[in-house]
Amino acid sequence: MLKFEGCTFSATGENKNSKVYGLTVTGAEDVEIKNCAFNGTGYSALLNKGTGTLTVKDCEFSCGNIKNPIEGGQDAENGDITIDNCIFTGIPGNNFINIYNVALGSNHTVKNCKFHGGANNNIIRLSNKNNTVAFFHVENCMYEFTSGKISEYSGFLLCQDYTNKTGTKQEFGYYTIDITNLIRPKEGSLFYVYDDSEGIITTNDPHVYLDGTLVSNPTTQAFVGSGDSMIESDEEF
């Protein structure tokens, strides 16, 4: 296993669209990153192009000048990913955690994490490039919208099919997502599905369980309101 501990990784691009990364993981070796700081300016703070397991624990991400703070490589079938006890601050260009291509039967876990972002930032964005069966777990996480106006794109989880226009449909029904003890704003949706030919759709749902209960598409379960977002908890971030 390759281990990093107590390091600082800084992207050194000119802006959020610069194809510059703080740390790039490649190859089949398992990787563990602990007590590290990610910052700077560029496309991703952490780019995972590896096929082994990836563990990110007790890290801080400063996302204000980053497009996608954690991003999977589209051409690599990521193995199991665990993101544990990490703090994300600042408003990224897109979404905090982005996973596009995963190994068959793999498990991906985000737990004990805090996210402070804008109303147009999704916390997790998933795609399913190779239509693979996989499992996702979210445990004991918190997120808040620190700025921006709530819209139909304000949500915790986005499932995005970016290949529909080419005639290749990504099947999100192959994904099972278990979410437990999530502290979230009262406004915005828990999840929604988007494809590049139709926009937000009400079909092709993943199997999403919130505290053990199967939940439906955001058209019926969205937490939509107006004004400033509020947290459904007395706990502080």
pLDDT in tens, 27-60: 999 999 999 999 999 999 999 999 999 999 999 9
Average pLDDT over the chain, rounded to whole? Answer: 91
Is 235 among the domain residues?
no
Is 228 among the domain residues?
no
CB neighbourhood size of 220 (10 A):
8
Which of the 8 DSSP states describes residue 90?
Answer: S
| Segment 61-83, tens digit of pLDDT | 999 999 999 999 999 999 999 99
Is 234 among the domain residues?
no
Is 232 among the domain residues?
no
Look-up of token digits 């260009």 = 93
User: Domain residues for 167?
Assistant: 2-221
Is 57 among the domain residues?
yes
Alpha carbon of residue 231 to chain centroid:
20
Is 178 among the domain residues?
yes
Is 214 among the domain residues?
yes
Is 230 among the domain residues?
no
| Segment 118-165, tens digit of pLDDT | 999 999 999 999 999 999 999 999 999 999 999 989 999 999 999 888
Reduced to 3 states (helix: H, G, I; strand: E, B; else coil), residue 235 is coil
Distances (CA, A) of 111 to 102, 168, 179: 19, 32, 10
Count of domains observed in the chain: 1
Overall residue count recorded for the chain in this entry: 237
